[in-house]
């Protein structure tokens, strides 16, 4: 079996996932006869009505416990239903990594949408920030529904952009009108400058934007402050420079660094703070297993650590 498409619909309870999936499977342009495994990972108030679908080749299966969401069980359900594609209604209380780990190698994620009740998502974020971040980080579109026409969408926009600058955002109002987000988010640095200067407070935003759109920075010269990482496996002419970034909460702080070629790299040691001016390239670097961004240093100087050692998006 090759390239089995997977459609993932995430969000918390009563966010409108079931209604959207039902309407999608009622659309003959989407449901034209392919054998579809509809995998439910939670039980909501609404139930699916296959009788309303143009094709009845929809086979509903349920996994109630995250521990049962394994690759073995996933493959078993695919073979059992002879599925030609899979639609997943995912449990908002489970991390997406559980699902990703369970997908067989021949599965291809064709679409991932996240649904949110626009009236409750800010409360979810205040109390379960890590789960909200989990659902927003990989979604290609986030839909806020059940909104009043006079609803303030700016807090919702900022909520998404603090996690992803790539995701599209849609607002669905109570009268059925759908508006797509067109709020511009100018970057706090000039990407067209001869030297793009990244302030300490903007490192997390820059790193996210660079990883989402590497070509924007290809061939550009950057200047920023970072902390060095080196070990015995890194060549004498290479170092890694970056910052510790908190994307959600203290539990998920991670070092976000980038390889940097520098002739005098061996004179630096791990935990040294430096100001680096370097040109960014994209390609196969000796420190990477695949193609990625790397720097060629033009100038490096040792400096003191910043006031806030942990970079954030806020």
**pLDDT exceeds 80 at position 247:** no
Measured in residues, the chain has a length of 314
Residue 204, by phi and psi: left (phi above 0), alpha (psi -120 to 50) or beta? alpha
**How many CA atoms within 13 Å lie on the side-chain side of 108?**
7
pLDDT confidence tier of residue 210, bands split at 50, 70 and 90: very high
Q: For residues 281 and 304, is the Cβ–Cβ distance under 8 A?
A: no
pLDDT in tens, 19-52: 999 999 999 999 999 999 999 998 777 899 999 9
Please give the pLDDT value at position 248: 64
> What is the pTM (predicted TM-score) of this model?
0.70
Give the residue from 263, 218, 258, 273 showing the smallest Cα distance to 238: 263
Q: What is the separation, in whole angstroms, between the first and last Cα of the chain?
A: 45
3-state secondary structure of 259: strand
């Amino acid at each position: 079996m090759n390239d089995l498409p997977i459609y993932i619909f995430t969000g918390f309870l009563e966010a409108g996932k079931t209604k959207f999936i039902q309407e999608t499977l009622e659309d003959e342009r989407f449901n034209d006869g392919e054998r579809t495994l509809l995998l439910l990972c939670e039980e909501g108030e609404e139930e699916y009505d296959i009788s309303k679908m143009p094709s009845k080749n929809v086979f509903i299966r349920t996994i109630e416990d995250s521990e049962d969401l394994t690759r073995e069980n996933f493959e078993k359900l695919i073979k059992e239903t002879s599925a030609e594609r899979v639609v997943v209604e995912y449990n908002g209380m489970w991390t997406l990594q559980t699902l990703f780990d369970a997908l067989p190698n021949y599965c291809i994620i064709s679409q991932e949408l996240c649904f949110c009740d626009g009236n409750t998502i800010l409360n979810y974020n205040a109390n379960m920030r890590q789960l909200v971040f989990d659902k927003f980080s990989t979604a290609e579109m986030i839909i806020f529904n059940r909104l009043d026409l006079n609803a303030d969408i700016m807090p919702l926009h900022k909520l998404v952009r603090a996690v992803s600058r790539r995701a599209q955002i849609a607002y669905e109002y109570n009268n059925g009108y759908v508006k797509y987000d067109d709020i511009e988010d100018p970057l706090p640095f000039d990407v067209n400058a001869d030297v793009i200067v990244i302030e300490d407070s903007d490192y997390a935003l820059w790193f996210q934007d660079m990883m989402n759109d590497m070509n924007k920075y290809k061939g550009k010269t950057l200047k920023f402050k970072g902390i060095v990482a080196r070990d015995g496996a890194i060549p004498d002419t290479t170092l890694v420079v970056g910052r510790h970034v908190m994307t959600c909460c203290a539990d998920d702080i991670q070092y976000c660094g980038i390889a940097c070629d520098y002739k005098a790299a061996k004179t630096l040691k791990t935990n040294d703070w430096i100001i680096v001016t370097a040109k960014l390239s994209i390609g196969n670097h000796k420190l990477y297993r695949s193609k990625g961004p790397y720097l060629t240093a033009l100038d490096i100087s040792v400096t003191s650590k910043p006031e806030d050692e942990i970079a954030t998006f806020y």
